[in-house]
Structure 1
Amino acid sequence: MNAPMTTGSVHPAVLLLELGHRARQAKTVQELAFLLVNDTRLLLPYRQAVWWTQEDGVHTLSGVVQPDANAPYAQWAAQLCRHLAQHHPKLGAFTASDVPPDLAAQWSQWWPAHAVWLPVSLATPGAAQGEGVSAGLLLAGAEPFPADRLPVLGEWGSMWGHAWQALQRRRMVSPRQWWARLRQQQAQAAWWRRPAVWAVAAVAALAVWPVHLTVLAPGELVAAQPAVLRAPMDGVVEQIHVQPNEMVKQGQLLFSLDEAQLASRLEVSEQALQTAEAEYRQFAQLALGDVRSKSQLAALAGKIGERRAEQAFLTEQRQRAQVLAPHDGMVLFDAPSEWMGKPVQTGERVMRIAQPDAVEVEAWLPIGDAIALQPGAPVQLYLAADPLAAVQAQVRYVAYDAVARPDGQYAYRVRAQLVKAGTQRIGLKGTAKLQGERVSLAYWMVRKPWASIRQWVAL
């Protein structure tokens, strides 16, 4: 492990040798990038460092293990680096006045006053002279950077780029031997008569055979357009007047909230209204001979109006405590004993009313299986209660945003209308098979494994 060094009394050449030694000891590109943004402080002091490449954008940040490319700071830094790579191809210091106004407007929000741009040319193995990946190191500090240290910084960038190319050569798999062997086989006579060639041709033809891209997702039968009954106010459920899955008529009482507090407030309001009216009549009689009493009649009349409005509001609230069915249908909710005495908040769902024959399929498409589904795409629901007979449906819509499921996973809601109404009841669950566009058989076979590999392997 390297011992920490101070830059105050050490010659820059010694510091450069130390950094070169650390770069040669790096085993991975990630370790080398971490060294660049954090250990360059040996050459000159800075507060923030950004390592940017044209292919990956903001690759590494000083003091951060894994940068978030979608963060506002990372996006602004990526725009600044792209501008510098195009218009400032040489090493140099700059400030906010040297960049476009749209970038300079956010400079003080993210950075101190001074910065240095170090372009680094990353020539990939096998690339022609002058070709390579455009990249650069961006340093920011509160004080101006010493001019005598900039040439040393440029030399460090060259050393670091050489170490990066060495790591790239280790990772590269050269196809020369494979290509030479292939040309040797093609040079042989009657190669097309060999069974291996025909087998390869058959496999290639089978690989491009078009098939429908299908995915499986949890699904269930739900009400198509249910009427959701919610708590009209904060309170406690006093009584449930219907049973689950009961057929109800329009205007039938479904559930009621506890009215004890409302009744008490309404009685107090009525007493206050009577008191205000009596007080108004008293001052109206006194106003015949007292001018001061006459001046108070307007205020008393306003007080009466206020009490009447309060009484009307409480009366309406008491009526709303009795929730009625908006139309005919089947009422859907949990056991009544679970709701009686339960406190509810305004807008909390208590029950639903649905038509028994208005049923559709609801499926939850996982994020990893989010294929393109057009309206009208076929859907087959295999119910757990009847796995041999599939319920046929067609996609009605697919939600744009993924929402959290009770199991903690995010998924897209898919609604599909039944092709033919059946006898299945609402609430049955199963597995939905969603059918997308046509793709090659090879893509259908390697899509899921390749998606899993891409999460762990950088190619």
Structure 2
Amino acid sequence: MTDRLPHPQLLLALAALRDRALAADSLNALAFSMANDGYALLRYHQALVFAQRGADLELLCVSGLARPSEDSPYLVWLRRASRWLAQQLPDARPRWLPRDELEPPADIAEGWAEWWPSGLWCVPLHDRDGQRLGLVLFLLDASPADEVAPLLDGVWQTWAHCWAAFGKRRRLLGWRPGKRQVLLALAVAAALLLVPVRQTALAPAEIVSRQALIVSSPIDGVIQRMEVRPNQAVEEGTLLFTLDETTLKSRAEVLGKEVAVADAELMAASQRAFDNPQSKSELTLLNGRVLQRRAELAAVQAQLRRTRVLSPRAGVAVYSDPNDWIGKPVVTGERILQVADPAQPAMLIKLPVADAIALDPGAEVTLFLTAYPLSPLKGKVLETSYQAHASEEGVVAYRLLASVEGQPEHARLGLHGTAKLYGERVVLGYYLLRRPFAALRAWTGL
């Protein structure tokens, strides 16, 4: 009795499954092929591909879905069900698991009745060492035909072979150093740690002017108009900004009327004093009132003149934006803007306390501007702050002022960059371990 040969179309379909698996360029592509390409042969409700991750199974692909939603109730239940299924497959043989012959836990049975058909065909995939790589589940109403199941063994082996190739880790084959070589390497490392190097630190910096005058509000009031634009060149006596004069003008007008009334009262009392001795005693009081009103009027007029603030020197007006100031109430002495000399640039460096190093007087500084990274500026430290203060970013830092050598054209006021400060020479070991030692002492208090 001769064995019946498989149908040629079946053999072609099996070969196509192997070819698609071999053509996959990643594990995800292989899982997608495993979950979807076998539908023409098995006609399953759904196929699930899991990867073995230690004692758990990770869902890689679900047939018909490009990307499953991990928070769906079905996939949440599937995580529990996959752990139970892994315990039902002790070896590498594919196995048919009918629902009627199993006794799953209550929560697994409830989900099976809701989402799965009557049976599962479980295909474990193992590498040559017998280690499980993953698991493929086919949801079927009945087990595969007897003449189809043996022919699929070659497909399972091809899938396992491709999976193992993607998961194979490259092993670095190197020589094992001997004791003498280890000692030599330690000696070289110790010698390198004693090499003297220049201690450096990096800090944010900005181009400012060494000669900058702060222009503040001369009186309490409201900014009416900014007469100059940011970074505009001004001359001495240029109008910078004006304060609102409405209140002062009203006050001056009222005081002018009061002065006129006091003058009239004083004149009338002077005329009555010729024939009325009692009016002579009022002259001193009325004269003092006239002087008081005139002094008040003169003070208000002086304030009116101070509502127009002029530039004290030639330079560049430095401030943020006119819209930030127009209509803003200010008090006497509040800083409004600066008049800076662009011909005397300097570096304003904010060195964080955590990066602070010992700097000698005249320490060298190199500033790499963000706008001109290939044209660094050279300079030397001129002054440093005694105490560290918190910056606008909340970083406690020291304030350093450094000069700018030469007259570089790109050293424009307001440009930002990173300054590299050069300290004294130290050994390489101290340079590398300074901050770890400081952090260790901060944590341990030693």
Matches within 5 A, 1:291-310: 291-310=277-296
Determine helix, strand or coil for the equivalent of 2:323: helix
CA apart distance, 1:216: 0.8
Partner amino acid, structure 2, of 1:431: T
Find 1:441's aligned residue among 428, 434, 438: 428
Deviates more, 1:311-320 or 1:326-335: 326-335
Separation of aligned partners in 2, 1:387 and 1:449 = 30
For residues 445 and 337 of structure 2, the distance between their equivalents in structure 1, rounded to whole angstroms, comes to 50
Deviation at 1:369, TM superposition (A): 1.8
Q: Which runs of 5+ in 2 are unaligned?
A: 1-178
Q: Determine which of 373, 379, 402 is the counterpart of 2:365.
A: 379
Moved more, 266-275 or 196-205: 196-205
Asked whether 1:265 is paired with 2:251, we answer yes
Deviations 1:238-284 (A, max 9, x none): 11222222111111111101101000001111111111111111111
Alignment of 1:311-390 (within 5 A): 311-390=297-376
Structure 1 residue 200: deviation in Å? 4.4
Provide the C-alpha distance between the structure 2 equivalents of 1:240 and 1:269, rounded to a whole number of angstroms.
29
Cα separation, 2, equivalents of 1:428 and 1:263: 42
Other-structure match for 1:241: 227
Q: Which moved more, 1:195-204 or 1:256-265?
A: 195-204
Alpha-carbon separation, structure 1, partners of 2:393 and 2:320? 20
- In structure 2, C-alpha distance between the alignment counterparts of 1:427 and 1:450, rounded to whole Å: 37
Which residue matches 1:251? 237
2:34 maps to what in 1? none
**Residue 337 (structure 1) shift:** 2.9
Q: Sequence identity, in percent?
A: 43
TM-score (norm 2): 0.57
1:453 aligns with 2:424: no
The letter for the 1-side match of 2:421 is L
Which whole-Å CA distance do the structure 1 matches of 2:300 and 2:290 have between them? 15
The letter of the residue matching 2:329 is: P
Larger Rg belongs to: 2
| Count of residues in Structure 1 that have an aligned counterpart in Structure 2 | 267
Q: In structure 1, which of residues 223, 228, 232 is the aligned counterpart of residue 214 of structure 2? A: 228
Separation in structure 1 between the aligned mates of residue 278 and residue 199 of structure 2, nearest angstrom: 88
Letter in 1 for 2:400: V
Letter in structure 2 aligned against 1:427: G
Quote how far apart the aligned CAs of 1:402 are: 1.1
Contact 1:373 1:398 in 2 (8 A): no
Aligned mates of 1:238, 1:333 — CA distance in 2:
16
Aligned to 1:425: 412
Aligned counterparts of 1:295 and 1:216: Cα–Cα separation in 2: 79
**Aligned ranges 1:53-452 → 2 under 5 Å:** 199-423=185-409, 424-452=411-439
AA of the residue aligned to 1:287 = A
The question of whether the paired residues in 2 share the 8 Å contact of 1:209 and 1:440 is answered with: yes
What code does the residue aligned with 1:233 have? I
TM-fit CA distance, 1:290: 2.0
* Distance in 2, Cα, partners of 1:384 & 1:252: 33
> SS state of the match for residue 414, structure 1?
strand
